[in-house]
Structure 1
């Protein structure tokens, strides 16, 4: 099992998704125009769509614009991986013109499915050695999200896969429409933090270096990455018996009724068995296939004093990785599953079968990884 490094030198990438008309282009343009100390490389489908102020451009070529504030805008056209490769070669001084940047923002087309790119960070060795996916950020059009979800599967995937959700066009909807849009987004992805933006005016730190896809070892970063809402719908206090709580061990799934997408969270204070967890994850991929969107969590394995990071996109999982320490020293497994057609009762039973038996914990003081 690997140990996550707090000194990861790979270049962070933010993947910006959102359906047609949500305002991604305006958002990207504002980021490029207002960046000060940040050296950002932005990859877009076509230069003509971004509408960069000509006064900002210091040098231009067929596939790249260099801006006076140190940012770069590149065209990916049909090959995003090729654009990332060229960027890295120019940054390393192995291709001309040499450029300098610290992070990458990729604006996807409105119809793009973010799954393939997210999976590429697990399956493409050259990509994963050079870049890391910092977060999938989805921009939601509050005015049209209901119609988009009814008519396009891509819209549902973009929200369900998001690590963070930005919401635009609040000024164009009534309070009732706003609440309805929030309920739709929450049903698809109740765990991603959400914030409103006006006319694309998001702060750079709302998009970049937010560390929500692949956490580093910082205690606060891991906690933020796997933040799970309290599973109990009732505000009343309740007691835990024998270190276990039937109420908050699993949450009721939040379901988007048009599509059948739901999310389930698990919390468990008792340690889990390594082999059983692997079997549980294998069962998820085999049972749900392409309907499994995201799995992420921190696992308290029997015999280990450090949390283990679980991260998967559809049927592709990253290698299990140790984080530094449990928050405040409290070991507790937390796991989130988002997908279509999730069978809560069967999933709950399979998850709880991973709990290590008391006699095994006494007999085995360690876990082989």
Structure 2
């Protein structure tokens, strides 16, 4: 079995809210066994009700998730997860607050058994501009923003409307092609970050649109193989209101199954290996794609575009 574990890198300067977000991921009911690799193990404050057992380096939760210390050796921590008898469905790596995430992303994407899913950066809405002007850490802060597939502007409760407008103007040249979410207390839907549909988002329940925490999801099941070129073209120009797209389709020319991964600027098509974890569509039938966004009209248009990529629907010259 040649399975690749989807991996998310979580970045952000000190105090941006990474630990709060990690706690949300670990305790959420997303149905995945997630391994979170953290730098400051002591900072993680998980509700005791969710803890199954704990040691100096690992906390195991009742929902199947685990939180592990990187302990200055990311490679060893990754090897420990890929070598497990029951590997996790998803790995989240917390980068240190002063790390340049692009380097870690390159490191993780080349690690055997892993597939880089997305790079997410959190920023503190109140302090990020001041940090970016700092002569010692400013370049690190801006590189964390520029490297992101998804940018989370956290702690909006600490600024007023005028300050938010100035922040948006400042961010524009740094993040013009990056999906941006604004939040308080890192209250972002964990299922969006992990690339799965909101709770109850099954193939049968998402013939329409399902909503969770302001996010909307559609599930699309093609009635035949896909023209891969047409699908790639359609996905290339998705509107920014669609934050995540993931699934599996069958190529009409080769009959090969391909996984589809879209988050912000990242678009990936890869052959599905037997045993590949964390795909929303089963390898039976013609596949399935789940899209998550914030605009019903754009999601409806996406469904129409996806239908046009079904090989049988293409006009014959």
With normalisation by structure 1, the TM-score equals 0.53
RMSD: 3.0
- Contact map agreement 2:7 2:117 (CA 8 A) in 1: yes
Asked if residue 84 in structure 1 is aligned to residue 67 in structure 2, the reply is: no
Asked if residue 200 in structure 1 is aligned to residue 194 in structure 2, the reply is: no
How big is the shift at 1:197? Answer: 2.0
1:32 is aligned to 26
Match of 2:131 among 140, 143, 148: 148
Structure 1 pair 71–308 and aligned structure 2 pair: CA distance change class (3 A): closer
Matches within 5 A, 1:316-355: none
Tell me how far apart the structure 1 counterparts of residues 233 and 94 of structure 2 sit (CA, whole Å).
Answer: 26
Structure 1 pair 182–84 and aligned structure 2 pair: CA distance change class (3 A): same
2:202 is aligned to none
Is 68-77 or 112-121 further displaced after alignment? 112-121
Tell me how far apart the structure 2 counterparts of residues 222 and 81 of structure 1 sit (CA, whole Å).
Answer: 36
Structure 1 pair 32–222 and aligned structure 2 pair: CA distance change class (3 A): farther
1:12 is aligned to 6
Asked if residue 110 in structure 1 is aligned to residue 97 in structure 2, the reply is: yes
With normalisation by structure 2, the TM-score equals 0.61
Structure 1 pair 209–219 and aligned structure 2 pair: CA distance change class (3 A): farther
- Contact map agreement 1:16 1:137 (CA 8 A) in 2: yes
Report the 3-state secondary structure (helix = DSSP H, G, I; strand = E; otherwise coil) of the residue aligned with 2:194: coil
Stretches of structure 2 lacking an aligned partner (at least 5 in a row): 197-227, 241-264, 271-304, 310-317
Structure 1 pair 175–73 and aligned structure 2 pair: CA distance change class (3 A): same
Structure 1 pair 146–130 and aligned structure 2 pair: CA distance change class (3 A): same
Structure 1 pair 134–297 and aligned structure 2 pair: CA distance change class (3 A): closer
1:160 is aligned to 146
Report the 3-state secondary structure (helix = DSSP H, G, I; strand = E; otherwise coil) of the residue aligned with 1:207: helix
Match of 1:75 among 59, 69, 93: 69
- Contact map agreement 1:14 1:104 (CA 8 A) in 2: yes
How big is the shift at 1:16? Answer: 0.7
- Contact map agreement 1:143 1:173 (CA 8 A) in 2: yes
Higher gyration radius (CA):
1
- Contact map agreement 1:226 1:297 (CA 8 A) in 2: no
Segments of 4+ moved more than 3 angstroms: 217-229, 326-329
Is 99-108 or 165-174 further displaced after alignment? 99-108
Report the 3-state secondary structure (helix = DSSP H, G, I; strand = E; otherwise coil) of the residue aligned with 2:53: strand
- Contact map agreement 1:12 1:209 (CA 8 A) in 2: no
Tell me how far apart the structure 2 counterparts of residues 25 and 222 of structure 1 sit (CA, whole Å).
Answer: 38
How big is the shift at 1:58? Answer: 0.7
Match of 1:49 among 40, 43, 52: 43
Structure 1 pair 13–308 and aligned structure 2 pair: CA distance change class (3 A): closer
How big is the shift at 1:61? Answer: 2.6
How big is the shift at 1:55? Answer: 2.5
1:132 is aligned to 115
Stretches of structure 1 lacking an aligned partner (at least 5 in a row): 1-7, 94-98, 211-216, 230-295, 299-306, 310-325, 330-369
Structure 1 pair 225–186 and aligned structure 2 pair: CA distance change class (3 A): farther
| Number of equivalences | 215
Deviations 1:306-341 (A, max 9, x none): x999xxxxxxxxxxxxxxxx9867xxxxxxxxxxxx
- Contact map agreement 1:11 1:132 (CA 8 A) in 2: yes
Report the 3-state secondary structure (helix = DSSP H, G, I; strand = E; otherwise coil) of the residue aligned with 2:83: helix
